[in-house]
């Protein structure tokens, strides 16, 4: 396919590499340009050159700008084009974006991902899609290159809803692992040995395995930055307020991430919440 890709960051760049290896023709905009693809000067140019346009940018305003700002994707779309937003943004805003793109005679999917940089490089991302089933099937060959666990959740916005739920669970579990290992260390046990013991019990999880090791080794190079995870929990708290739903532990973990960012750790991996807890109250 002729694929346009906007956002060549930590996640987007390896996703583009995998699409190129799979034989797709890529046009790119925003981010690193040292790729075997046509580098465009605008989102409009990307859309003109592509039958499918993928967005992988940080936040809701970034998606809105990439699509609808002057020189954006919407100005270059041709009837029948497909827009796939793989960013993690507001479910409510996503529904509006989908409606606007569909009025142009084009298709739209929200398809946020989980799996971090490791999953992006390995083509093993979990992809949570929202949109019409026939549009999902149209995008399936692309998703098969980028991920392994690929699910159509429901209509427009449902993929973003699933991603917010994912981020709630991941964030709270990272915080729990950090508390557990910090408790073990302060009580005089070796947290590395405690982690290994817990890996054989009911507390075992991928987060204890991967992020627990980061905490023990204190290696916090970003796979997924605290700053971005804080943004996702903000979406959770905001959407919960719209639903009159209480998410007290999500809100508390968001505040812990606020503290991490205030301490200068916003661009570290989210497992660095261990450092924030260790520092204790300001």
Residue by residue, DSSP assigns 29-52 as: EEE---SSSEEPSSHHHHHHH-SE
- Cβ neighbors of 229 (< 8 A, separation 6 or more) are 167, 170, 171, 257, 270
pLDDT number for residue 34: 84
243 and 275, same domain (yes or no): yes
For the chain, what is the mean pLDDT?
Answer: 96
**Does position 31 have pLDDT exceeding 90, yes or no?**
no
Residue 82 in contact with residue 111, Cβ under 8 Å?
A: no
7 and 115, same domain (yes or no): yes
pLDDT number for residue 59: 94
Number of domains forming the structure of the chain? 2
Strands 38-39 and 52-55, how do they pair? unpaired
135 and 176, same domain (yes or no): no
pLDDT in tens, 239-253: 999 999 999 999 999
144 and 197, same domain (yes or no): no
* Percent of the chain clearing pLDDT 90 (strictly above): 94
6 and 72, same domain (yes or no): yes
Domain that residue 104 falls in: 2-155
271 and 238, same domain (yes or no): yes
pLDDT number for residue 10: 87
pLDDT number for residue 56: 97
What number of other Cβ atoms are within 10 A of residue 34's Cβ? Answer: 8
Residue ending a domain, choose from 155, 176, 202: 155
The active-site residue out of 44, 48, 148, 163 is: 163
**Does position 66 have pLDDT exceeding 80, yes or no?**
yes
pLDDT in tens, 9-30: 989 999 999 999 999 999 999 8
pLDDT in tens, 148-161: 999 999 999 999 99
pLDDT number for residue 15: 97
- Output the domain CATH number for residue 203: 1.10.1040.10
pLDDT number for residue 282: 57
Residue ending a domain, choose from 123, 155, 187: 155
171 and 141, same domain (yes or no): no
23 and 65, same domain (yes or no): yes
Tell me, yes or no, if 163 is annotated catalytic: yes
CA distances from 50 to 99, 208, 246, 265 (A): 20, 41, 43, 38
134 and 165, same domain (yes or no): no
**Using CA atoms, how far apart are residues 224 and 221, in angstroms rounded to an integer?**
9
């Amino acid at each position: 396919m002729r694929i346009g890709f906007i956002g060549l960051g930590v996640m987007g760049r390896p996703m583009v590499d995998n699409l190129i290896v799979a034989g797709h023709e890529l046009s790119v905009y925003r981010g690193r340009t040292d790729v075997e693809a046509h580098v465009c000067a605008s989102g409009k140019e990307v859309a003109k050159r592509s039958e499918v346009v993928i967005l992988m940018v940080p936040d809701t305003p970034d998606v809105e700008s990439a699509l609808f700002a002057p020189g954006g994707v919407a100005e270059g779309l041709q009837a029948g084009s497909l827009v796939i937003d793989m960013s993690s943004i507001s479910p409510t805003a996503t529904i509006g974006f989908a409606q606007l793109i569909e009025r142009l005679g084009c298709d739209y999917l929200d398809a946020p991902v989980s799996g971090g940089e490791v999953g992006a490089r390995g083509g093993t991302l979990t992809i949570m899609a929202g949109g019409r089933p026939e549009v999902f099937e149209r995008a399936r060959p692309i998703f098969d290159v980028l991920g392994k666990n690929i699910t159509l959740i429901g209509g427009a916005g449902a993929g973003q809803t699933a991603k917010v739920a994912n981020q709630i669970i991941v964030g709270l579990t990272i915080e729990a692992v950090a508390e557990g290992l910090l408790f073990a260390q302060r009580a005089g046990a070796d947290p590395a040995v405690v982690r290994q013991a817990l890996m054989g019990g009911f507390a075992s999880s991928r987060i204890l395995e991967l992020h627990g090791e980061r905490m023990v080794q204190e290696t916090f190079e970003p796979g997924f930055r605290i700053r971005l995870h804080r943004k996702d929990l903000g979406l959770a708290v905001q959407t919960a307020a719209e639903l009159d739903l209480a998410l007290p532990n999500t809100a508390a973990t968001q505040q812990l991430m606020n503290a991490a960012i205030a301490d200068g750790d916003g661009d570290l991996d989210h497992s660095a919440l261990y450092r924030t807890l260790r520092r204790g109250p300001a």
